[in-house]
Amino acid sequence: MEKDTNNIRIQDDLYNYVNGEWINKAIIPDDLPAVGGFIDLSIDVEKTMLNEFSELSNSSNVDPLMKKAIILYKKIIDEKDRLRGLKPLLDGVSIFDKIHTKEDFLNSIYDLWFSAQPLPFNSFVSEDMMEATKYAFYISAPTLILPDTTVYSSPSAPILLNIYKQMATSILNSLKIENVEKLINDTISFDEKLSKIVKSSEEMADYIKCYNPYETNKVFELMDLNLTDYLTKRFGKVPEKIVIYDVKFLENFKTLLADNYEEYASWAKVKSILGDVQLVSEEYRELSSQYSNALKGTQKIVSLDKYAYRLANSFYDEIIGIYYGKKYFGEEAKNDVISIVKNLVQTYKERLKENNWLSKNTIEKAILKLDTMKIKIGYPDKISELFTKLDFNENDSLYEIVLNLTRIKNQYNSSLLFKPVDKSIWVMSGNTVNACYNPSSNDITFPAAILRKPFYSLSQSVEENYGGIGCVIGHEISHAFDNNGAQMDENGNINNWWTKEDYENFKEKTELMVEEFDGLPLLDSKVNGRLTVSENIADNGGITSSIQSLRRVKENPDFKLFFKNYARIWCAKQRDEYSKLLLTVDVHGPNYYRANMQVRNFKEFYEAFDVKETDKMYLDPSKRVIIW
């Protein structure tokens, strides 16, 4: 039934006053979990680039790397050819039939890694959080079948696992795999055991606790696995230390695998087949999407051309992003956005100087962090080394091409271990509708694709731009000072630059933000105030700093425009399944509350719309929270 949006007063419900009518009319396409806001912009970028792909594929004057992306795209579209990948796929997973014991596993581990097959632990090279000019080798727990360990104890667990089992059974049977029942029972059994020893999304949101350096030999001892040969083959030599993401996982790894190498092999074989079979045909792509459809509530798979674009983009995103940025994001807009970022940074500095709950020393260090923060707007000037190495043989099947590209990415990532960190690398491509703060390099990134309406436009009012991108920029900057950022210095190293007292003061304020959001109702579930606290603090800092920055560039700004556009950027209509999934795993709160709860903390909101005690949006001044 449609909600009556005509009689909604802004003082009672800002979000639905601004977005309600649109939400009522919007229809979520069958292949999407949601529409509106960020997702609409993403769809639009995709449409633009699909047109570009079809035009460029007939042109002789195309950048060679972009050409590769287009060839890959066309390869995916050519369905007839894809089936050739089935044999190499099945040959690839036959490696698991030989794994029964620890020795078997140790004999195969390098080949497993080299052919991108699932291992019982994930591993990667990333900036050393203790010394961010260098890289470190990290080991973390593998991802579970259910979206989070907490879902295992929820009523939806048996329903979801059943869908997974049915999907796996029909795919494995149709591929004429032997012992299907045992494979699937082993898979579920191994995953359940795994779920008991891994961190939840809430625990993973604490970055600092994910940094646990160990001497390499100690890790071998705890895992009861000597990985010397494997690491020597992979890196040329064994790294002296390994950083462990999840200590509980490391400590229980030995018991998890003790007599279970066969169970692991089944789990990995099933995961590998279900993950890759989509590459072989549209029929298998459809079959293997049932579980993710159930998780997100989507009714069907995305069209073939979108799938092809997304897969090509998953390897060539930086190249596609640079193309998109150069063509669709102009120099004038870039300079304007840089001036907004500088204005926001200036505001943070001023606010820090006036701060009355941090010590002088801490304030100075915070300002140093702002002074050294690097700004990345639009798209990178140069292509990073990885993309110059990505290559494939056009005559291979799609499965083989994807495997080779994945291998190149994995090998490139490993090759970084003993090299210095290149801080000019972007962690988000220009065609991504998002923004981020990277604590390891103390930089903020705003890709070209988010620098559009309603977030930003040269044709929008200044108030709308500050209510949109201004709040997003302020949000990202505040991550430099949130519960994670407070423990990392201007060079991206873990180095607590706060006094104990400062941190206690901050924690007290943090608790107020947890309280404000914890337990807010959504569907038949609730918001987790702790899982979302960093992002809520960032939203809060974003609005605070954007309001003050707007005042600097415009006399008597119209805050009606500011807050309405702030509510507009969060506009979304989501499927219930998807909303529930996000409540469990997403560190960001639901869009409705990001708009409606957050604005209640600001006196400008009350003044702009004359919000009174009797209005639903009213929050007693004693309960309002402002942190930065």
> Between the CA atoms of 355, 360, 362 and 363, what dihedral angle is there, to the nearest 10 degrees?
40
- At residue 143's C-alpha, the angle toward residues 140 and 148, to 5°, is 115
- Any idea what DSSP says for residue 490? T
* Shortest spacing between CB 542 and Zn ion, in angstroms: 9
* Shortest spacing between CB 480 and Zn ion, in angstroms: 11
- Quick one: 127 or 535, whose CB is closer to Zn ion? 535
Q: CB under 5 A: which stretch of 60-68, 322-330, 459-467, 535-543 binds Zn ion?
A: 535-543
Residue 427 CA to residue 317 CA, distance in Å, equals: 11
Pairing of strands 443-447, 436-438: antiparallel
* Shortest spacing between CB 594 and Zn ion, in angstroms: 11
Residue 392 CA to residue 8 CA, distance in Å, equals: 56
- Quick one: 145 or 538, whose CB is closer to Zn ion? 538
* Shortest spacing between CB 414 and Zn ion, in angstroms: 29
Query: Considering only residues 384-423, where is the footprint of Zn ion by CB under 5 A?
Result: none
* Shortest spacing between CB 478 and Zn ion, in angstroms: 8
Taking residues 230 to 259 in sequence order and writing x for each that binds Zn ion by CB under 5 A, - otherwise, the string is ------------------------------
Among 34, 39, 538, 583, binds Zn ion (CB under 5 A): 538
Q: CB under 5 A: which stretch of 263-271, 332-340, 537-545, 589-597 binds Zn ion?
A: 537-545
- Quick one: 184 or 538, whose CB is closer to Zn ion? 538
Are the CB atoms for 289 and 170 separated by under 8 Å? no
Active-site residues, by number, are 476, 539
- Quick one: 256 or 370, whose CB is closer to Zn ion? 370
By residue count, the chain amounts to 628
Residue 318 CA to residue 232 CA, distance in Å, equals: 31
Alpha helices, DSSP H, located in 140-215? 156-174, 180-195, 201-204
* DSSP letters spanning 172-185: HHHTT-S-HHHHHH
Coil/strand/helix, residue 52: helix
Q: CB under 5 A: which stretch of 221-229, 253-261, 533-541, 566-574 binds Zn ion?
A: 533-541
**SS3 assignment for 445-464:** EEEHHHCCCCCCCCCCCHHH
Number of residues that bind Zn ion (CB under 5 A): 2
Residue number, nearest CB to Zn ion: 538
User: Is position 450 an interface residue for Zn ion (rule: CB under 5 A)?
Assistant: no
Q: Encoding tokens for residue 413?
A: 């990532």
- Quick one: 289 or 546, whose CB is closer to Zn ion? 546
DSSP H or E segment with residue 126:
strand 122-128
- Quick one: 531 or 538, whose CB is closer to Zn ion? 538
Q: Encoding tokens for residue 350?
A: 């001023």
Q: CB under 5 A: which stretch of 209-217, 483-491, 530-538, 552-560 binds Zn ion?
A: 530-538
Amino acid at position 594, single letter: R
- Quick one: 92 or 492, whose CB is closer to Zn ion? 492
Q: What is the crossing angle of helices 261-276 and 180-195, to 10°?
A: 100
* Shortest spacing between CB 302 and Zn ion, in angstroms: 27
* Shortest spacing between CB 472 and Zn ion, in angstroms: 9
- Footprint of Zn ion on this chain (CB under 5 A)? 535, 538
